[in-house]
A and B are shown apart, each in its own frame.
Chain A
Amino acid sequence: AQRVTQPEKLLSVFKGAPVELKCNYSYSGSPELFWYVQYSRQRLQLLLRHISRESIKGFTADLNKGETSFHLKKPFAQEEDSAMYYCALRGYSGGGADGLTFGKGTHLIIQP
């Protein structure tokens, strides 16, 4: 069965410090991984996906198949980054439209 693990429930860093939110996955096939973010009083929204290899709001994430990880990183944290972050895995079972398997989330707090 596929699984996503986010080991940190809460991560608190100071403004300007580097941030790394960890995500490990378990999946036998070729995974498709995402980071979703939920800011206070807003909806869950896509932050980035591994196939895009893009940087959004200064965040990047690299898929490491050897370590089965997809950690989210930002070199200099900003106060507006405070939010809940969810790592999610899409697993194909032939139908092509399976939903996402989410981790439990990490609450990121950026202190001034």
Chain B
Amino acid sequence: NAGVTQTPKFRVLKTGQSMTLLCAQDMNHEYMYWYRQDPGMGLRLIHYSVGEGTTAKGEVPDGYNVSRLKKQNFLLGLESAAPSQTSVYFCASSYSSRYYEQYFGPGTRLTVT
């Protein structure tokens, strides 16, 4: 069981470039989440998904898009990266609304120059 994995681990982008972060889980979890963490801040929810084919906005969704085409994968896209999106991105998953423990990935460190 790999748990929650994130690809890539590190990335440097130039302003205006696009990229996709991949989150995968092998625990058959229904719910998946993307958070960002900035220095000195707690994690903030970007988008989340309650099941395959569904997504919803979190606290800080602007500048990001997501897709959940397969139950095990949750993609986070940046269409036109900005320096304000420099952050560490964490993916998490949970089995259901009732069994709500969130399992986190190792994080992706993204720098936008």
Contacts and interface: CB of A to CB of B under 8 A. Distances in A.
Asked if chains A and B come from one complex, the reply is yes
Interface in B35-88: 35, 40-45, 48, 50, 56, 58-59
B97 A96 contact: yes
B38 to A, nearest CB: 10
A14 to B, nearest CB: 26
A98 B104 contact: no
Nearest to B46: A99
Contacts of B97: 96-97
Interface in B73-113: 90, 92, 97, 100-107
A101 B59 contact: yes
A101 B45 contact: yes
A96 B50 CA distance: 9
Nearest to A105: B42
Contacts, number: 57
Interface residues of B, number: 25
Nearest to A6: B42
A104 B106 contact: no
Contacts of B107: 43
B44 A46 contact: no
Contact of B100 (A4, A6, A45, A90): A90
Given A44-B90, A104-B40, A99 B33 contact: yes
B42 A4 contact: yes
Contacts of B59: 99, 101
Nearest to A32: B100
A88 B31 CA distance: 17
A43 B101 CA distance: 14
19 contacts: A6-B42, A32-B100, A43-B105, A43-B106, A46-B101, A46-B102, A49-B100, A49-B101, A86-B43, A99-B35, A99-B58, A99-B92, A100-B43, A101-B42, A101-B45, A102-B42, A102-B44, A104-B40, A105-B42
